[in-house]
Amino acid sequence: MKFLVTIEQDEAGYYVVECPALPGCVSQGKSKNEALVNIREAIHASLETRQAEGLPTTLEVTEVEVAVL
């Protein structure tokens, strides 16, 4: 499966990665590569937990266009 993730660098210099399709699925790392490795592990764990609890494994994620003033 493929998931979109967001990557932001926080004030301490860590990269914070979130998977919007899986609420609460967030990880971080000292580098982008480390953060991406960590989010893969977090996604895997989230999917296992959601399956075990009978929850959907994905939510729909779509783009919304907004005019910037």
The structure's pTM equals: 0.83
User: What average pLDDT does this structure show over 41-69?
Assistant: 90
Give the residue among 34, 2, 46, 1 at the shortest CA–CA distance from 17: 34
- pLDDT bracket for residue 46 (50, 70, 90): very high
The pLDDT assigned to 48 comes to 95
pLDDT at 11 over 80: yes
The pLDDT assigned to 62 comes to 81
Long-range pairs for 40-43 at CB < 8 Å and ≥24 separation? 43/3, 43/19
